[in-house]
Chains A and B, each alone.
Chain A
């Protein structure tokens, strides 16, 4: 390197003499060329040495930490396969992924996609159809919850990705608050008491009154949204026309009522006030899926271990989930499939994952095997696998479209405006929503 710098300096100093000595310049240039040639030799040496080993390399892209554990275990099982795991933060993961797919260069063999973006990604024709041979993914998906099977398939019914995670939801509740205001902290009894939105509203009004405005039944309007949006019958777009499902219309009324009667605490979902409330005990119920246990509650409120329970709310629901897909032009489809199969159906690994990471699986057969033995101290000893396994069977299949993420964000923005009072009436909110969807997607007929 030092030599290179010296040569460069010599070269430039020669130039600066105004070309007085051309021989010197030529010498400088040739020296520079030699140095560059040398460098390129060294670099090409690097690549040839790796190819000499002829080790198979599987490239995986992920946005989630979870992949690290899985890859570690995968490497233990298959030491001859080298895995090149690239971790990209969630903020711009999808944009990067779509960019490489568009460019067709350096595309990973396997990539992780979060459920928010999955409907959009799964319709890209560059994803391998896993239904056909030699993969025959239905053998794996047959063991999964029905709603996950439906998400994995594209419009034609072909499996385009495999979900390893089971994501049925629950109403996580604070046992101390439930005992104080509902007189019981038993999961079944609590489930009975919150089996309809009307009951939750009534509890909310009571709790706010008795606590002097300190405690609320729900954390934010998202607790209603998460349940309602999981229970839609029709997706946002049907035959090129915008459809607002009855479940979403009901959501408008429910959230408005919850806001006006102080049933919800007005926290911004995932905001700092929201996470702090878990520790402080100012909210009774949070509607969250399986992964909420390690990623939301245990991580944000570690000191409240043993104070929580799981109950069924008004309706079954699910939220989130990650899917692994394969690039259809990958040169390592065999390796890619090995990894996907390992992550989603290997019994030994799955059980280890479930036990050590508190990870509820998409594979209901394995979940059921573990249901009787797995308990959580954080949930005061509740058998949470048993709970979620039953909840998962009841989760309805909410139809999806590639527009979901974009239209959801417009919906959420208008919902906030409606609840915060900028938009005064429900009719006006729906009108503004339709206008914006029609504007952003001219191909969708957004008129009523």
Chain B
């Protein structure tokens, strides 16, 4: 019966072809080629010379690579924790029935996400510049300080500043995802809890939070992948230097510096693959966690 009506035209392949063609040209080929490059020594001129795993050996002993990883994780960690908590709180509040003008608030909180990362970096660099920054001017006019403070020379402050930019930029985005998750929670459960006499806090901790877990894990996984690739904000904030003392040099900035300002394409590719392996490890960890959650959820 089915075999007669099942059409076996190949037009379907035509429709999915554009994706695969583009993926092979712009995705797969560069990945394979950069792996090849990571086994070579190449400055862009002449032909790449294969040197085996020497670049990876160098990578393993490269203190700057580890430092850039630390910077990245530090900046990411400091930005993601407030990002996910603040956005959750806002999402829950905006999900309440009695709030008026919800859509306006949602839009306003989402606005920072639309601003280009590069321009944000420049803007903040101007605000916190040493001699003319408006932040110093504000502190001086309020009488908190007498001489301008050289903020850009403080490693931890600059890392926090990058975290701050990321937080400001992405909390609106996380909020939207949470709101979507909240809307997915069945009203029946909430009403049942109300009828059983649960208070608002009890509902939040016993029902909303557990049911939002998959959303939270999704947020964490995507933010890990995005967070490992922080580039624009610290790059524009420090004019590409990663100063002071390479404290805002993220792994991707480091990779960019090696490949495109030092023209060591081979080692740059090795750094890229090092970063790739680390992202894979983090992703596996979070997938394992997610599976565990869903298993325990199904066993319930």
Q: Which A residues are within 8 Å of any B CB, using their own CB?
A: 15, 18-19, 95, 98-99, 101-102, 124-126, 266-268, 271-273, 276, 406, 409, 413, 416-417, 420-422, 432, 439-442
Contacts and interface: CB of A to CB of B under 8 A. Distances in A.
A442 B130 contact: no
Nearest to A441: B262
Given A416-B153, A420-B150, A268 B44 contact: no
B129 interface: yes
Contacts of B9: 19
A439 B64 contact: yes
Given A268-B129, A417-B244, A442-B58, A422 B44 contact: no
16 contacts: A18-B7, A19-B11, A98-B263, A102-B45, A125-B45, A266-B130, A271-B131, A409-B241, A413-B244, A413-B245, A417-B245, A420-B244, A422-B154, A439-B63, A439-B64, A440-B262
B241 A413 contact: yes
Contacts of A102: 44-45
Nearest to B64: A439
A124 B261 contact: no
Contact of B131 (A15, A267, A417, A420): A267
Contacts of A420: 150, 153, 244
Interface in B34-62: 44-45, 58, 62
Nearest to A421: B153
B260 interface: yes
Interface string B223-255: 000000000000000000101110000000000
Nearest to A99: B44
A406 B261 contact: yes
Contacts of B154: 422
Nearest to A406: B262
Contact of A422 (B63, B64, B155, B261): B155
Contacts of A421: 153
Contacts of B262: 406, 440-441
A19 B12 CA distance: 11
Contacts of A440: 262
Contact of A276 (B132, B261, B263): B132
A406 B58 CA distance: 20
Task: Label chain B's interface by main secondary structure.
Answer: loop
Interface string B114-143: 000000000000000111100000000000
A39 B150 CA distance: 60
A271 B261 contact: no
Contacts of B7: 18-19
A208 to B, nearest CB: 14
A271 B132 contact: yes
B34 to A, nearest CB: 15
A374 B262 CA distance: 43
B64 to A, nearest CB: 6
Nearest to B131: A273
Contacts of A19: 7, 9, 11
Contact of B153 (A124, A406, A409, A422): A422
B131 A416 contact: no
Contacts of A413: 241, 243-245
Given A413-B243, A416-B243, A98 B155 contact: no
A422 B11 contact: no
A422 B62 contact: no
B130 A268 contact: yes
Contacts of A124: 45
A118 to B, nearest CB: 16
Nearest to A220: B131
Contact of A416 (B58, B62, B132, B244): B244
A95 B260 contact: yes
A15 B11 contact: yes
A273 B132 contact: yes
Contact of B45 (A101, A267, A273): A101
Nearest to B238: A413
Contact of A268 (B64, B131, B263): B131
B244 A271 contact: no
Nearest to B257: A440
Nearest to B126: A272
Closest 10 CB pairs of A and B: A273-B131, A102-B44, A420-B153, A273-B132, A272-B132, A19-B9, A413-B243, A420-B150, A439-B64, A267-B131
Interface in B267-287: none
A266 B131 contact: yes
Contacts of A18: 7
Contacts of A432: 245
A271 B131 CA distance: 9
Contacts of A95: 260-261
B110 to A, nearest CB: 30
Contacts of A441: 262
Nearest to B154: A422
Contacts of B58: 442
A432 B245 CA distance: 9
B63 to A, nearest CB: 7
A406 B245 CA distance: 15
Nearest to A439: B64
Nearest to B263: A98
Interface in B154-212: 154-155
Contacts of A422: 153-155, 244-245
Contacts of B11: 15, 19
A406 B260 CA distance: 12
Best-buried of B7, B64, B132 by chain A (most CB within 10 Å): B132
A20 to B, nearest CB: 10
A95 B259 CA distance: 11
A411 to B, nearest CB: 12
A416 B130 CA distance: 12
A240 B7 CA distance: 70
Best-buried of B58, B62, B261 by chain A (most CB within 10 Å): B261
Contacts of A101: 45
A98 B265 CA distance: 13
A102 B44 CA distance: 5
A98 B261 CA distance: 10
Nearest to B62: A439
B148 to A, nearest CB: 9
A68 B110 CA distance: 44
A105 B243 CA distance: 36
Contacts of B245: 413, 417, 422, 432
Contacts of A416: 153, 243-244
A441 B9 CA distance: 58
Interface string B55-95: 00010001110000000000000000000000000000000
